[in-house]
Structure 1
Amino acid sequence: MNQSEHPLKSWIPYKLDLKNDDSLLCKWLNTFNKPYIEPFFDETISKCKALDQHILKFISAADLRVLEDWAAGIEKVEPTAFIFHISRCGSTLVSQLLGMNEQNISLAEVPFFDDILRLPLKKSDVKELYTGKLLSAAIKFYGQRRFGTETNLFIKTDSWHVFYYKKIRQLYPEVPFVFLYRTPDEVFNSHLKKSGMQAVQGLIEPELFGLDNVEVVHMPQREYIAKMIERYLEMYLEIIESDKLSLFLDYKEGIIPIVKKIAAFTKVEIDEDELSTMENRIQYHSKYPNEAFSEKKVISVIPELERAFELYGKMEIK
Structure 2
Amino acid sequence: MSNVLLKDWIPYKLENTAAQIQCSWLNTYAVPFTEPFFDDTINKCKRMNGGGAPFASISGIDVLTDWAAGLAYVEPSAFIFHISRCGSTLVSQLLATSAANIVLSEVPFFDALLRLPYQVPGFNENNSADLLAAAIKFYGQKRTGHERHLFIKTDSWHIFFHKQFRILYPDVPIILIYRSPYEVLASHLKMPGMQAIPGFIEPEIFGFKPGELTYNRPDIYTAQVLERYLNQYHEIIATDNKCLLLNYNEGPMAMIKQIVSFTNTPLNEQGVLTMDERSRYHSKKPNELFSETHQHPKPHFLNNAMALYHSLNSM
Where does residue 44 of structure 2 map in the other structure?
A: 47
Where does residue 6 of structure 2 map in the other structure?
A: 8
**Local SS of the residue matching 1:154:** strand
**Local SS of the residue matching 1:118:** helix
Where does residue 146 of structure 1 map in the other structure?
A: 143
Which of 232, 243, 255 pairs up with 1:235?
232
CA distance in 1, matches of 2:296, 2:218: 20
Which of 117, 132, 135 pairs up with 2:114?
117
Alignment identity in percent?
50
Contact 2:198 2:215 in 1 (8 A): no
Give per-residue Cα distances to partners, 1:228-252, cap 9 Å, x unaligned: 1100000000011111100000000
Q: Which runs of 5+ in 1 are unaligned?
A: none
Where does residue 19 of structure 2 map in the other structure?
A: 22
**Local SS of the residue matching 1:180:** strand
- Seen in structure 2, the aligned counterparts of structure 1 residues 88 and 218 have a Cα distance that, compared at 3 Å, is closer
1:1-318 paired onto structure 2 within 5 Å: 6-18=4-16, 20-54=17-51, 56-216=53-213, 218-298=215-295, 300-318=297-315
CA distance in 2, matches of 1:261, 1:54: 41
Contact 1:109 1:156 in 2 (8 A): yes
What number of residue pairs does the alignment pair up?
Answer: 315
Contact 1:186 1:298 in 2 (8 A): no
**Local SS of the residue matching 2:49:** helix
Contact 1:202 1:217 in 2 (8 A): no
CA distance in 1, matches of 2:51, 2:163: 41
CA distance in 2, matches of 1:185, 1:54: 41
**1:213 deviation in Å?**
4.5
The TM-score, its normalising length taken from structure 2, stands at 0.97
Question: Which has the higher mean CA deviation after the structures are superposed, 78-87 or 31-40?
Answer: 31-40
Contact 2:206 2:225 in 1 (8 A): yes
CA distance in 2, matches of 1:165, 1:141: 21
Give the letter for the 2:86 counterpart: C
Question: Which has the higher mean CA deviation after the structures are superposed, 272-281 or 38-47?
Answer: 272-281
CA distance in 2, matches of 1:78, 1:158: 19
Give the letter for the 2:148 counterpart: T
CA distance in 2, matches of 1:100, 1:267: 17
- Seen in structure 2, the aligned counterparts of structure 1 residues 286 and 55 have a Cα distance that, compared at 3 Å, is same
Contact 1:182 1:251 in 2 (8 A): yes
Contact 2:74 2:150 in 1 (8 A): yes
**1:280 deviation in Å?**
1.1
Give the letter for the 1:69 counterpart: D
Q: Which runs of 5+ in 2 are unaligned?
A: none
**Local SS of the residue matching 1:134:** helix
Contact 2:234 2:312 in 1 (8 A): yes
**1:295 deviation in Å?**
1.6
Contact 1:27 1:60 in 2 (8 A): yes
**1:204 deviation in Å?**
0.3
Give the letter for the 1:290 counterpart: N
